[in-house]
Structure 1
Amino acid sequence: MTHNPEPAMSRTVLALALSMTVLSAAPAFAQDHAHGHHHAPGSVAAEATGAAAAVDAFHAALKAGDTAAALTFLAPDVMIFEEGGAERSRDEYASHHLGSDAAFAAASEATMARRSGWAEGELAWITSEGRTTGQFNGRAVDRLTTETMVLKRHADGWRIHHIHWSSRAPG
């Protein structure tokens, strides 16, 4: 019987999916028995502070309009989900929504209401809830936002491998 190995991308996606399943099965406030840490609801575990800093730096670069810097925080095979759509790589994101995301970030104010994060080994997830307000393209903006980012530690720092953005009108 011959074995046909899966492509590397499929293995990476499978590993991230399995990691997310394991991560989502343990609430952020659960005790990490293996390391003796307690995580409060709505907090970022000490092991995930570097990943949270990478998320913040990505957003700061977008807000500043520095799209080249923003791209450095994304893995080449990043998968971005937003409003039912998907961009399947850093290059695809750069050629489609990066510019408009930077323009939107510059024209609006985002405030964070709550953030949680956890890391195990080389993987981390950071979840954020907030509100974005302002004016963009002549229209008022007022959105409640949620964001999930999955990151992997690389030799030169944390890189974002998955983003899921969602928003809705308040009320």
Structure 2
Amino acid sequence: MKNNYFLIALLSTSLLSFCVFAHEPSTASELTATKFSGLQTEAGRTVLSFHEALAKGQAESVMSALSPNVIILEGARIERSAEEYRQHHLQADMRFSSSVKTATIEHYVHVYGDTAVSISRSHTVGLYKDKQIDKQGNETLVLKRIDGNWMISHIHWSH
């Protein structure tokens, strides 16, 4: 129960810090700095590697970034483990990611000790399964440092 309160506080803090950027920065470099931060951290590099592996169809690299008990929410679907994700949606997600072009609009990674939160928005365009794709999406990842390695323990994708 104590961990649930910590996670709620952590996500609330992250979402509040996400909103801090409502005021326009005065220079282009400030704009870039406020829209992309924390990517150079170990947790940030884990997130970037995860997405690169999805786009390149590298299943084992994707899976190595996921905690065994990862929870993945997308639309009305939920997957309750890395193995469930491997069996149900990994192949489709890799095919989709390799078929379309995704541009990141903004991306923040906040590290809180052994926990990190990655929040991003993106714009995806391309053709997938004979359907034209042109949509914006949001992603929240929660990572935990386990035995010195950052592992994704929660994913929430919305489009």
Identify the TM-score tier after normalising by the shorter chain: 0.7 to 0.9
Matches within 5 A, 1:83-162: 83-162=75-154
Match of 1:4 in 2: none
1:21 CA drift (Å): 3.7
Instruction: Pick closer, same or farther for the CA change 1:56–1:76 going to 2, 3 Å.
Output: same
Q: Where does structure 1 differ by over 4 angstroms across 4 or more consecutive aligned residues?
A: 10-15
Structure 2 gaps, min length 5: 22-32
The question of 1:16 aligning with 2:16 is answered: no
Match of 2:24 in 1: none
Give the letter for the 1:86 counterpart: I
Structure 1 or 2: more helix by fraction = 2
SS at match of 1:20: helix
Summarize deviations over 1:94-145 as a string: whole Å, max 9, x none: 1111010000011011110111121110000011111111111111111101
Match of 2:28 in 1: none
1:23 CA drift (Å): 3.8
CA contact (8 A) 2:125 2:134 kept: yes
SS at match of 1:99: helix
Aligned residue pairs: how many? Answer: 147
Give the letter for the 2:129 counterpart: N
TM-score by length of 1: 0.76
Matches within 5 A, 1:45-60: 45=38, 49-60=41-52
Q: CA RMSD in A?
A: 2.2
Percent sequence identity is 30
